[in-house]
Structure 1
Amino acid sequence: MALMPLPTDEVQRLIAVGAPTAIQYSTYWGRTAQEQYGRVLESAIVSFLGVSFSYFMSFVVGGFVATIFGSLFLFWGILSPELKAYQRNWEFLGGRELVDPWGVRESGRDPEDAGLYGALFLGYIADVCVVEDATTYSYEYDLAEFADYNMNDDELEKYTGRPYLLRLLVADKSVNGQDRDDIGGGRELQVHARLSDEYLDVRRGMPVSGILLSTSPRFDRLAAITDLFVPDAGCWIGDYPYLNRAEVEDLLARDDEIWDLLQLESNLEIDSYDNQGTSRTETGIATENAGRDSGYNAGIKKRFDVDDTFESFNAGSSWKNTEDGSSTWTSR
């Protein structure tokens, strides 16, 4: 089981959903030269038209009000990314309160209507490929074919206006060697992000971590997911940086239990076996997972000292992918 319930203060520390961070601000300035050029052009046009409008408005509402509006438009290029990042951060929580699963239980509140619960997801990359459209299951390109890819020279974007997308199938291992379709463990989640040259080192089987939010303590409904951290590739996968990267790196560096659990999720054998054209037997997988699972659940219980709550997560639900390529939760 790779969903670790987190107390509210730790969730707030690991995600940046208040005042925009520097990297969130820079995201709205664009990630490619073309996007940055478009942002500068948009800011210049808005500033020119806004200042002109404020000048003519001064004859109607007076110079003081017109000066305020004119100043806002003049600095629109600086203020716009800040305001958009604020809006994106607020939409992530949707105005809902982050709640502690243990505090809700003790207070007697309805657990299903208390707010958002946070959990640290530890898993591995079950599959990775490149696609042209996230809503269809069209041809999937091998990521290795894009070894020389550069975001500033995306051929698909030149002709269609839409860039290539990275498609990840993220999963956690089955429990005690049992098949993921027979038990509550073994979740799968498909995510998409714009392809970046930062992602070219991502491989199947690499461990991955992120923060999940749900309105249910059993996590049978997925409310939000952050970007994903792949330590072995040294990259953060996602179109917007919700994670507080410095805090996440610090957590993995100082907490040996979490780091060990993340490494247990590593499944690099699947990539090497695929390259050799062979596959492991069910017996081999069961033996390996049985060994990895030793002390696995106990480590999480020891860290949080809340057996009952952990069991509710362990008996939770699984992800299922819809036909349009999006991801949903399905209760076991």
Structure 2
Amino acid sequence: MLIPLTRDKFDQLMPLLATGPQYSYYSGKFADVLNRLLISIVWVLIVAFLLSIFLGNNLVTFCLGAIGGLYFLWAPIYFASLRNFSCRRHRYSGFWQGEVLDLYISEELVGTEQTVNKKGQLVVVENRQRRLNLEIGDETGFTTELQVPLQREHKLIRPGEIAQMLVMSDRADLGRIAKISDIYIPRENIWVSDYPYVRRDVFAEVSDRLNRRRGNRSNKRRPPRY
């Protein structure tokens, strides 16, 4: 099932600026916050001791210092908004419903680091992460796969379960999918995603309303436009 969405509804589902979960995603761990704080401090020092020499202590210097000094606060909003824009730049969108075709767990290399062992030898340590690979599809033959870090609740997902998501396209008929959102498994109320693209409360509302409308109009050939 693929139902086109109006741009207004898509804008509600895919916000322009970062939501709370998106801000948390880009805030990262304590080390990430500390790194952004150090960048802010360095920027303030540069403004205070270098730019003030050339520009003087004026409003421009103050604004540049304030912007850089608050980097640790606005950086997550900026990066989340850029990622949202990668979806919002597509002109058309739709609500897609299919099913889980297959799922399996893999171990992926996510990084390496160098350390010294007890003998004083330099060794390379591989950091691996267990990830869920989820394949979904529908009766038209469309299939796609999403790989995300493995979470405890993922063990509840089974092949054949209903799966829902947003799809984005540059074609009005949605004949070619350019991008997909996170995947929702409604029976278990589980989201499968690496990044929380959509407003999940709004998505659940749209899901309920579209499925009810589809049930009421199942004898009509053309799907409704929401």
TM-score norm. by structure 2 comes to 0.81
Question: 1:41 — aligned with what?
Answer: 34
Question: 1:213 — aligned with what?
Answer: 168
Q: For 1:133-172, list aligned pairs within 5 A.
A: 133=108, 159-172=125-138
Whole-Å Cα distance in 2 between the matches of residues 199 and 161 of structure 1?
A: 22
Q: Choose from 110, 126, 129 the match for 2:104.
A: 129
Whole-Å Cα distance in 2 between the matches of residues 26 and 42 of structure 1?
A: 15
Question: 1:301 — aligned with what?
Answer: 222
Extract unaligned runs of 5+ from structure 1: 31-35, 97-115, 135-158, 175-184, 262-294, 306-332
Residue 92 of structure 1, CA deviation: 2.0
Question: 1:235 — aligned with what?
Answer: 190
* One-letter identity of the residue aligned with 2:65: G
8 A contact 1:199–1:233 mirrored in 2: no
8 A contact 2:167–2:177 mirrored in 1: yes
1:254/1:117 CA distance change after superposition, 3 Å: closer
Whole-Å Cα distance in 2 between the matches of residues 21 and 302 of structure 1?
A: 31
- Corresponding pairs, count: 209
Extract unaligned runs of 5+ from structure 2: 110-124
Whole-Å Cα distance in 2 between the matches of residues 300 and 41 of structure 1?
A: 56
Q: Give the structure with the larger strand fraction.
A: 2
Residue 302 of structure 1, CA deviation: 6.2
8 A contact 1:253–1:259 mirrored in 2: no
Q: Choose from 44, 49, 53 the match for 2:46.
A: 53
Whole-Å Cα distance in 1 between the matches of residues 20 and 213 of structure 2?
A: 27
Q: Choose from 247, 254, 257 the match for 2:212.
A: 257
1:260/1:191 CA distance change after superposition, 3 Å: farther
Whole-Å Cα distance in 2 between the matches of residues 161 and 299 of structure 1?
A: 53
1:67/1:43 CA distance change after superposition, 3 Å: same
* One-letter identity of the residue aligned with 1:46: I
* One-letter identity of the residue aligned with 1:160: E
Question: 2:115 — aligned with what?
Answer: none
* One-letter identity of the residue aligned with 1:199: H
SS at match of 1:205: coil
Q: Give the structure with the larger helix fraction.
A: 1
* One-letter identity of the residue aligned with 1:249: A
Residue 202 of structure 1, CA deviation: 2.0
